[in-house]
């Protein structure tokens, strides 16, 4: 059960790992964390469309109420609405803490908790310590079935959509039709009323929230999940497409012939920000293309940091940067917004790009960038117990690589190993959420990209079969 306590959130299988006693104690221990802040003892809780989310809400709420923490129920909402509630007064209530019950883009049997305390993500060592404490005290605190656990209801969703409608008046009567795929997640609950208020012509796809995800998996970073959207755009001659993940904190942007990756969107957004800031600061993660870092450094400052929405939110605040971006479609705006990943807000910022460019012109902007040959993000199965050990073993082998290994210019160890070669780079890192290693390769020529991939993966395989002994 310890594996449910992950780097960025808590996530597991409903009623197998996330049982009543476990979830009650998560609420109880998070209540203690809130009480330690010396801020008012209250918390916002919302949930996504998964069929077991309301049950988890009752179990989690009971944990908070057992410690006399007031629960404000936000109902079924996109994840960014829970974040929004911590930065804004909702129905007269100001509360900087929230828990979003969501399994994000995981299969339907999964669920979990994304936690914000005092407007900051609760993650990393904080989650690990909470997990250790829970495991040691679980038997002492069973779920009290007879506990009267009241809550108050707040309409954060209405405040959120009104905020966006006011903030994006520039998009009123938008000149292009848009196709939007919500993947039966909760994105429609946030985007639809805004589109209507701004008189944006849109064609909805899978707008009805359904936690069984009957049409396709709600992960817009996987090309196969975009096929229905692409077919709709083609059949109805719609020039712009947007897709959300299950809880609407990640997006994909498409035009007729192009699917924009997160690092490419960062370049486009940074160029727009250059109109208002002398040196826009943008944070990318270790999987982002070198092209992104080079292009943003021409107009501002680009920083590389760890993968993960919690990591980037914290780094964004530390650096007072304007923007952060992940390849997977998490986009964080600290410019004109609150610095968290909100795919609905980001989608509206993306539509603003088309006030300066036609869809065809925007494609040309990206196609005019230096072209590198890159692999997609590939996942190498392993185990949660082995994944970090394999990266450590690979690091030791890279200190004394084989004679036929490509020349190493640098090794960036921010998050895994980003090995910089003469004409490109290769990345291997342990996923913080699943039992896999993640790889990506990029080079000036396809031959070099293939070479770097072959050599680095061969060295990784040697680590599996013949690990370097620890000194």
Answer yes or no: 328 catalytic.
no
Judgement on whether residues 251 and 150 belong to the same structural domain of the protein: no
Instruction: Give the E-state strand segments of 77-209 in sequence order.
Output: 98-101, 110-117, 120-121, 152-153, 178-181, 202-205
Give the tokens for residue 426.
Answer: 């290769």
Would you tell me how many other CB atoms lie within 10 Å of the CB of residue 36?
9
- Residue 343 resides in a domain: yes
Catalytic residue among 53, 66, 104, 310: 104
- Residue 33 resides in a domain: yes
User: Which of 96, 129, 155 is at the close of a domain?
Assistant: 155
Judgement on whether residues 357 and 380 belong to the same structural domain of the protein: no
262-273 helix and 290-299 helix, angle to the nearest 10 degrees = 0
What's the pLDDT at 7?
87
Judgement on whether residues 55 and 77 belong to the same structural domain of the protein: yes
What's the pLDDT at 468?
52
- Give me the DSSP letters along 173-237: T-SS-EEEE-TTSSHHHHHHHHHHHTT--EEEES-S--TT-SSS-S-TTSGGGGHHHHHHHHHTT
- Residue 239 resides in a domain: yes
Judgement on whether residues 353 and 232 belong to the same structural domain of the protein: yes
- Residue 287 resides in a domain: yes
Q: What's 420's domain CATH number?
A: 3.30.310.50
> Would you say the C-alpha torsion 380, 382, 384, 390 has a positive or negative sign?
negative
- 48 closest CA partner among 9, 87, 20: 9
Judgement on whether residues 45 and 120 belong to the same structural domain of the protein: yes
Residue 391: phi and psi, rounded to 5, are: -65, -40
Catalytic residue among 322, 330, 429, 440: 330
Cα–Cα distance, 185 to 81 (Å, whole number) = 14
User: Please, which residues have CB within 8 angstroms of residue 257's CB and are 6 or more apart in sequence?
Assistant: 363
- 101 closest CA partner among 177, 10, 228, 169: 10
What's the pLDDT at 471?
41
Contact (Cβ atoms closer than 8 angstroms) between residue 304 and residue 414? yes
The single-letter DSSP state of residue 152 is: E
What's the pLDDT at 360?
96
User: Please, which residues have CB within 8 angstroms of residue 411's CB and are 6 or more apart in sequence?
Assistant: 395, 398, 417, 418, 419, 420
State the SS3 of 238-292.
Answer: CCEEEEECCCCCCEEEEECCEEECHHHHHHHHHHHHCCCCCCCEEEEECCCCHHH
Which domain covers residue 405, as residue numbers?
373-465
User: Which of 367, 400, 433 is at the close of a domain?
Assistant: 367
Judgement on whether residues 197 and 340 belong to the same structural domain of the protein: yes
State which H helix or E strand residue 74 sits in.
strand 70-76
Question: What is Dmax (Cα atoms) for the chain?
Answer: 69
> Would you say the C-alpha torsion 460, 463, 468, 470 has a positive or negative sign?
positive
- Residue 161 resides in a domain: no
What's the pLDDT at 465?
85
Judgement on whether residues 113 and 175 belong to the same structural domain of the protein: no
- Residue 162 resides in a domain: no
Answer yes or no: 66 catalytic.
no
What's the pLDDT at 469?
46
∠ Cα 420 425 428 (to 5°): 95
Q: What's 236's domain CATH number?
A: 3.40.120.10
79-87 helix and 343-353 helix, angle to the nearest 10 degrees = 90
Residues (pLDDT < 70) of the chain are: 467-471
Answer yes or no: 310 catalytic.
no
- Residue 259 resides in a domain: yes
- Residue 107 resides in a domain: yes
Judgement on whether residues 246 and 319 belong to the same structural domain of the protein: yes
Residue 183: phi and psi, rounded to 5, are: 60, 25
Cα–Cα distance, 204 to 189 (Å, whole number) = 12
Judgement on whether residues 341 and 429 belong to the same structural domain of the protein: no
Judgement on whether residues 361 and 419 belong to the same structural domain of the protein: no
Name the one residue in this structure whose structure tokens are 């035009």. Answer: 255
User: Which of 328, 350, 367 is at the close of a domain?
Assistant: 367
Judgement on whether residues 316 and 430 belong to the same structural domain of the protein: no
Cα–Cα distance, 437 to 318 (Å, whole number) = 28
Whole-prediction pTM value? 0.95
Judgement on whether residues 309 and 332 belong to the same structural domain of the protein: yes
Q: What is the number of domains present in the chain?
A: 3
């Amino acid at each position: 059960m310890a594996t449910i306590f992950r780097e960025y959130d808590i996530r597991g299988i409903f009623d197998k790992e996330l049982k009543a006693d476990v979830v009650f104690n998560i609420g109880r221990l998070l209540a203690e964390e809130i009480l330690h802040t010396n801020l008012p003892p209250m918390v916002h809780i919302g949930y996504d469309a998964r069929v077991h989310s309301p049950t988890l809400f009752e179990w989690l709420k009971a944990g908070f109420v057992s410690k006399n923490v007031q629960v404000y129920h936000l109902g079924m909402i996109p994840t960014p609405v829970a974040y929004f509630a911590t930065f804004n007064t909702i129905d007269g209530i100001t509360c900087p803490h929230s828990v979003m019950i969501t399994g994000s883009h995981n299969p339907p049997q999964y669920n979990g908790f994304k936690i914000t305390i005092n407007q900051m993500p609760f993650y990393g060592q904080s989650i690990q310590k909470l997990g250790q404490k829970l495991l040691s005290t679980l038997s002492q605190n069973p779920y009290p079935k007879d506990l009267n656990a009241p809550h108050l209801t707040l309409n954060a969703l209405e405040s959120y959509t009104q905020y966006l409608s006011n903030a994006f008046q520039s998009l009123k009567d938008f000149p292009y039709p848009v196709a939007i795929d919500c993947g039966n997640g909760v994105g429609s609950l946030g985007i639809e009323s805004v589109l209507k208020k701004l008189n944006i012509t849109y064609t909805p796809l899978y707008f009805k929230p359904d936690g069984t995800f009957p049409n396709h998996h709600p992960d817009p970073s996987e090309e196969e999940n975009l096929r229905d959207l692409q077919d709709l755009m083609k059949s109805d001659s719609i020039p712009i497409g947007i897709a959300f993940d299950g809880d609407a904190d990640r997006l994909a942007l498409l035009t007729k012939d192009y699917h924009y990756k997160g690092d490419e969107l960062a370049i486009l957004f940074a160029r727009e920000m250059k109109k208002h800031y002398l040196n826009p600061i943008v944070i990318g993660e270790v999987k982002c293309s070198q092209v992104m870092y080079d292009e943003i450094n021409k107009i501002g400052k680009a920083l590389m940091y760890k993968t993960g929405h919690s990591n980037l939110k914290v780094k964004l605040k530390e650096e007072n940067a304007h923007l952060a971006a992940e390849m997977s479609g998490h986009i964080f705006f600290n410019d004109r917004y609150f610095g968290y990943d909100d795919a609905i807000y980001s989608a509206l910022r993306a539509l603003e790009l088309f006030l300066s460019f036609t869809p065809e012109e925007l494609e040309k902007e990206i196609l005019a960038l230096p072209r590198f040959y890159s692999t997609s993000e590939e996942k190498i199965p392993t185990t949660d117990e082995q994944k970090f050990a394999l990266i450590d073993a690979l690091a030791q082998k890279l200190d004394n690589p084989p004679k036929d290994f490509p020349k190493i210019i640098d090794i960036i160890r921010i998050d895994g190993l980003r090995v910089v070669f003469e004409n490109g780079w290769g990345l291997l890192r342990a996923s913080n959420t699943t039992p896999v290693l993640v790889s990506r390769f990029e080079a000036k020529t396809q031959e070099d990209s293939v070479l770097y991939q072959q050599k680095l993966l061969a060295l990784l395989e040697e680590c599996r079969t013949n690990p370097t002994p620890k000194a």
